[in-house]
Structure 1
Amino acid sequence: MDKLSKKEFGLAILNGNASAIIVALIPAALISQLLAVMPQIEIVKTLNMMVTLAQSALPLIAAFAVGYLLKFGTIESASMGLATFIASGVVTNHNGQFIISGSGIILNIMLTTLMASLVTVFFHKVLGQLRAVFEPLAVLVVGGGLGLLTLPVMVFIQNAIGKVVEAATTTAPLIMGILLGALFAILIVSPLSSVGIATAIGLAGIGAGAANAGIVTASLVLAIMGMKENSWGLFIAHFMGSPKIQMANMLSKPKLFIPVIIASAISGGVTSLFKMAGTPFSAGFGMSGFIGPITALNESSGGHLGIRVMIAFFVVPIALAFLMKYIFINKLHLVDAKDLKLPEV
C-alpha cells in the first residue's frame, strides 16, 4: 500500500464512489423506461432482473473502486466490499429472511468505504503474514460494524433532507420550481441520493418535473464547462449517465456550485411555468435514459406538449449551460475548465 496524503485519500474515496455510481446505476437508468413499455416476455424480464440487481451491487463496486484508487490488494479490496455491502442498507431483515433491494444509502456507503479503508490499513500492518486468513473477518466485523452503527444516522439525514424538499412543494408553483430545481441540482452532485429522496417523499407532478429539470441543467452545465478537459465519453456521461461523477470536484471546489445552482434554479422555474410533470422515479434521474422528457410526455397535459418538453428539457438547459460557461469561465474567470477534469474510468 502506497502512502497517500489526506487529500489524495479523500479524493480516492469520492472518485471511487462516483465511478461506482456510474457502473451500478446507469444500466437501469438507460433502459428501464424502455423495458417498462415492452411486452413482458422472458428476455425482457431477464434484462429487468439484471439491471435491477446491478443497482444493488453499488456498495461492492464502490469498495473495489476505492480499493483500486488506494492501490490496495485484492484481499483488502474484497474485505472492504464485504463491510460496505452489509452496512449499505441494501440488505434488510424481514422476519428472519434477508432481502436484497435498492442501491442502499449512498451517504453511508461513502462513509463505510472511508472507515473500512482506514480499518484495512490498520489491520494490514497489524496482521502481517496472517492477513490473508484474518483480514476479511477483521475488516468485515470492525469496518462493517461501524457502518451499521452509522446507517440509522445517515438514513435520518437523508429523510431530513426529504422533508425540506417536501416543504418546498407546498409553496407557489414558480417558487417551488426554482427551489426544487436548485435543490435537486445540489443533491445530484452530493453524496445524497436524489432518487432515494424523491421516492421517499413521493415527489410527483410539477414538482417532480422541476426537480428533474434542475438535474438535467446541472449535468449540462458541468459537462459544457469542463468539455475542454474531459473526453467525449465523459462529456456524454454527465447527462446520459449522472453528473454525480463530478462529486469529488464539486465538494473540493465549492465555487462550482454557483453556476450550477443559478442555472438549475432558472430551469426549474421555467419547467414549472411550462407545467411539466413527473413521477418520484423520474424526479431524481435527470436525462439518464431520457427518463425526464419521456415521463413528462406521459404525465403532462395541455397543448403543444412536444414543443414544451423540447424547450423545458433541451433548449433552456443547453442555453443556460453555455451562458454559465461564458459568464463564469470566459468573463469572470471564477471557474476554470480544469476544475472539472475527471479521471478516466
Structure 2
Amino acid sequence: MKDFFSKLLTGMSLGIVVCLIPNALVGEILKLIIPHAGPLETFLTAVLNASVLVMSLLPVIMGVLIGIQFKLNPVQMCSIGLAAFIGSGVTTMDENGVITMAGIGTVINIGITAAIATLFVKFLDVKLKDWTLLLMPALTIFIPGLIGLAILPYVRDASLAIGEGIIYLTNLQPVFMGMLIAMVFSILILSPISTIGVATAIMISGVAAGAANLGVAASGVGMCIAAYKANNLGTAIAHLASAKIQMRNFFMKPRIAYPMIITAAILGALSGVLQIVGTPYSAGFGLAGFVGPLKYLDLVGWNFKSITIATVMFIALPVILNLIFIKVFEKKFKWIKSDDYLVSYEH
C-alpha cells in the first residue's frame, strides 16, 4: 500500500509540474508586458493563452504519468488519464449542452479517481485479451471515471471545509492569523490540495492572501535550496514554481518540511505587521511567476518602500531563514539529509 501511495503521489507531483509550470513562469509577467508589447502583442497573447490552456489538461497528464509510475502499457495509461479527466471537475455543461473547460479541477479528486482507475486497469490487465484496445478505455471511463464524477461534489465540499477553517483564521488578529495561515499554506502546497483552489474557493483576500502567498513562497524557496544537492539545478529551480514536486517525499517523511514551516510562520507574522496583501487569485501562487510580489505591488502601488518590502519579504527573508533552519535541522538535529529531497523520474 505504501508503494502504491508513493507511486500515485509521484505521478501527481510530476503532472502538476508539467502542466502548471509554463503558466507559473510566464503568466503574470506576460500580463504586464502584453499591453506595451506593440507588434509582439499577438504572439505574446498566444503564448499566454497556450500556457493557460495546458493547465486544464492536468487531469489527463496526471493520469498518464501515474500509469507510467506503475509501468502500465500505453492503453492503460491513457485510460487512467481519461478517467481522471472525467472525475476532475475541469469541464462543465450548461443547459444547452455547451461544454466549457476551465481551471485545473479538484486535485484531490483527480488523485482519487486515478487511484481507482489504476486498480481497475490492473484488475482487467490481460482479461480482455483481444478486446483490450476496444473496451479498456470505455470501461475505465464508464466505471472509475463516473465514480470519480459522482464523488466530486463531496470531495469538493471537503476541500471547502478546509477553506472554511482557513477563513476562520482571518477573523483572528493579523499577526497571529498571518502566522497560522502562512503555515497552513506552506503545508497545503506540499499536499494534493490545490492552494490556488482553496484560495479562490473561499475568496481569501487582504493580509490573509498575502500571508498565504508568503507561506507558499517559504515552501518553494526552502525546497529549492534543500533539493539542490540531491538534484540538478533545473529540478531545484522548478520548486519555485511548484513545491508540490516534493509531495511524495513530504508524505513519506513529513519532517523534511519543518524548516519551511518555521520560515512560513515568521514570514506570516511579519505579513500582519507590514500589511502584505493579496487577492483570491494570487494567494496560492507564492513566487511562481512572481505572482505574489507583483500582485502586492499592484495593490499598494509601485514605490521604493513597497518594492523594498516585496524584495525582502518574498525573496531575501525566505532565502536567509530557510538556509538557517535547513542547516539547523540537518547539522544540529540531524532530522533531515539531502537525499530526503531527491526527486526521482524513474519508472
| TM superposition score normalised by structure 2 | 0.93
Counterpart check, 1:51 vs 2:46: no
Which string of whole-angstrom CA distances, capped at 9 and with x for unpartnered residues, describes residues 102-129 of structure 1? 1000000111111100001011132123
**Ranges in structure 1 where 5+ consecutive residues have no aligned partner:** 1-5
- Give the aligned partner of residue 26 of structure 1: 21
Aligned partner letter, 2:86 = I
Superposition deviation, residue 34 in structure 1: 2.3
CA contact (8 A) 2:83 2:141 kept: yes
What is the CA distance between 1:303 and its match in structure 2?
6.7
Distance 1:230 1:331 in 2: 23
SS at match of 1:335: coil
Cα-to-partner distance string for 1:37-70 (whole Å, 9 max, x where unaligned) = 3128433332232112111000010011111111
1:315-334 mapped onto 2 (5 Å cutoff): 315-334=316-335
CA distance in 2, matches of 1:34, 1:224: 24
The answer as to whether partners of 1:124 and 1:135 remain within 8 angstroms in 2 is no
Q: Map residues 1-345 of structure 1 onto 2, 5 A cutoff.
A: 6-37=1-32, 38-39=34-35, 41-95=41-95, 96-239=97-240, 241-300=241-300, 304-344=305-345
Deviation at 1:211, TM superposition (A): 0.8
Out of 181-190 and 274-283, give the one that drifted further.
Answer: 274-283
Kindly state the Cα deviation for residue 131 of structure 1 after the two structures are TM-superposed. 1.1
- Give, as a single letter, the amino acid of the residue that structure 1 aligns with 2:252: S
Q: Secondary structure at the match of 2:193?
A: coil
Shift of 1:84: 0.8
State the Cα deviation string for residues 221-269 of structure 1 (Å, max 9, x = none): 2222232111111110111x20010001111112223322222111111
Structure 1 segments of 4+ aligned residues over 4 angstroms from their partners = none
Amino acid at match of 1:24: C
CA distance in 2, matches of 1:129, 1:11: 32
- Residue by residue, what CA displacement relative to the aligned partner does 1:259-317 show, whole Å, maximum 9, x if unpaired? 22222111111122122211112110011111111111111258711111111111111
SS in structure 1 at match of 2:171: coil
Q: Tell me the distance in 2 between the aligned counterparts of 1:87 and 1:42.
A: 34
Q: Counterpart of 2:8 in structure 1: which amino acid? A: I
CA contact (8 A) 1:225 1:329 kept: no
Offset from partner CA, 1:80-103 (integer Å, 9 cap, x none): 111111110001121122211110
For 2:78, give the aligned amino acid.
Answer: A
Q: Is the 8 A contact 1:238 1:245 kept in 2?
A: yes
Residue 79 of structure 1 deviates from its aligned partner by 1.0
* Equivalent residues of 2:256, 2:336 under 8 A apart: yes
Aligned pair count reads 339
Distance 2:304 2:287 in 1: 23
SS at match of 2:126: helix
Note if contact 2:179-2:265 (Cα within 8 Å) is conserved in structure 1.
yes
Provide the secondary structure at the position in 1 that maps to 2:127.
helix
Return the letter of the residue paired with 1:116: A
Q: Give the RMSD, CA atoms, in angstroms.
A: 1.6
Structure 1 length normalisation: TM-score?
A: 0.94
CA–CA separation in structure 1 for the residues paired with 2:336 and 2:45? 46
Q: Aligned letter for 1:48?
A: L
The percentage of aligned residue pairs carrying the same residue is 33
Corresponding residue SS for 1:92: strand
Partner SS, residue 17 of structure 2: helix
Q: 2: CA distance between counterparts of 1:110 and 1:93?
A: 22
Shift of 1:336: 1.6
- The AA in structure 1 aligned to 2:215 is G
Unaligned 5+ segments in structure 2 are: none
Work out the CA distance in 1 between the residues paired with 2:154 and 2:250.
24
Q: SS of the residue aligned with 1:281? A: coil
Report the AA paired with residue 294 of structure 2: I
